[in-house]
Amino acid sequence: MFEPRPERWDRVYDALLNADTGLLQSYESQMRLGFASFSDGGALGACSQVSYVAPASTNANGINAVYSIVQSGASSPSGDALAYIVSTFAATSSEGRKFMLLVLAGDPETCTVSDPDCGQDPAIAAIQQARSQGISTLVLGVGDFVTPQPGFCDLTLRRCGTAHLEDLANAGVGLGVATPPDSYQYSPCVLTPTNLMATYGTAGNAEYYLGATAEDVRAKLDSMFLRVLVNAVP
């Protein structure tokens, strides 16, 4: 069944900021935490609406003040939003390594094409750019990635669904990203192969995460935080 948008994001919010069991409260004294969310229809970037909280120590309450009022949108222009978030985060001074824990609920669109969901290339390019600026990324899929709509993802047309999570995970730790199908390179989001923004080649095998239930989402996010804490991210 297609999962309602609020339900999938409520699970993530509860895992991070539940008053009794929230992960951010557990980790905020051990690392500097920030927050960013994005959807369609805003003023930042070409089309995306971005909410951003700069990283800081003991920042759970500051993040909650922003995250608690975020509204989900109808589409997800990931490439546009991530490019803005990466450039903002990269400009933040830090004494140690930087990481993004990226949670996505469905395949990306672009600012000019909302159907089909073919915004994979600019999203991957943004994560590769993050890596080149010293930011490593771990990836969790919820929503459509766990309960996909039948027939919605055709891998002969584009690397969608969990294949896209795999590509983002590889990009996030500096591994190779699988070359998209020839048909994707002529899709409405790309038009011609020379317009591809990301770098492709032999695919790596970086781990990505899936969260099917509220308990599962919390457990996977906890694992991601722990990998960061013990420096177990390439």
Summarize pLDDT for 111-152 with one digit per residue, the tens.
888 888 999 999 999 999 999 999 999 999 998 898 887 878
Q: Residue 23 and residue 28: Cα distance in Å, rounded?
A: 8
Tell whether pTM > 0.85. yes
Mean model confidence pLDDT for the chain: 91
Whole-angstrom CA distances from 179 to 21, 23, 99 are 41, 36, 25
**In this predicted structure, what is the pLDDT of residue 44?**
45
**Residue 54 is encoded by which pair of tokens?**
């700069």
Q: Residue 105 and residue 148: Cα distance in Å, rounded?
A: 10
Q: How do residues 168-211 score in pLDDT, each as one tens digit?
A: 999 999 999 999 999 999 999 999 999 999 999 999 999 999 99
CATH number of 5-227: 3.40.50
pLDDT at residue 161 tops 60 = yes
Domain ranges of the chain: 5-227
